[in-house]
Amino acid sequence: MKSILPLGAALLLWASPVMAAPQTAGDEPAQQSAAQDNQPTNDLIEVASHTGAFNTLVEAAVAAGIEDDLRAEGPYTVFAPTDAAFAKLPAGTVDRLMQPENRGELISLIRMHVIAGARLTTADLAGQQLTAETLNGPLAIDASDAITGVRVNDASVTLTDIEASNGVIHAIDTVLLPAN
């Protein structure tokens, strides 16, 4: 089994902001930069929001206060539970997690689905069994069987390679629960 580690300790600091340096080399570059700032970024949050399948995950990121972290530069690989995956949790679990007093637990749960420092596509994973380090612990990835497809822990990947400007999303059918 291989082990994929995130690129550097700074990426492990999930809550650290990413800031771009402003351009100061004259009016034209500043105007061009301003025009680019008005363009959609198509980051992980933007892409997840527009698919319609990850509404609960996006709401959870907002409730946890880490939405901006998923907009950061990356790269990230996100094994994103669909709304149907969240619906499989015991009744009341999602509502309980969304309460401010459970923010730490919610952050832990979301981090279990994110690999920082790598953009892993199905082509990268094909034929492999490996352990990747999420922002909240190890994740077993099994893409060794073309018939069963990609599995992460006990979840099946149901939709692959949803590209974002700062990473890639793979839809999964089960919410990954942290070990703690």
Q: pLDDT digit string (tens) for 137-160?
A: 999 999 999 888 999 999 999 999
pLDDT computed for residue 146 by the predictor:
87
pLDDT computed for residue 122 by the predictor:
94
Q: pLDDT digit string (tens) for 24-45?
A: 334 433 333 333 444 446 999 9
CA distance 144 to 129: 6
Beta strands in the chain (DSSP E): 2-4, 76-81, 114-116, 129-134, 137-142, 151-152, 155-164, 167-172
Q: pLDDT digit string (tens) for 64-115?
A: 999 999 999 999 999 999 999 999 999 999 999 999 999 999 999 999 999 9
Phi, psi (rounded to 5 degrees) for 107: -60, -45
**List of domains in the chain:** 41-172 (2.30.180.10)
Q: Which residue has the tokens 């680019």?
A: 36
Q: Which of 6-15, 27-36, 145-154, 169-178 is the least confident region?
A: 6-15
Torsion of CA 102, 103, 108, 113, to 10 degrees: 110
Q: Is the peptide bond before 75 cis (omega within 30 degrees of 0)?
A: yes
Torsion of CA 42, 46, 47, 48, to 10 degrees: 160
pLDDT band with cut points at 50, 70 and 90 for residue 180? low
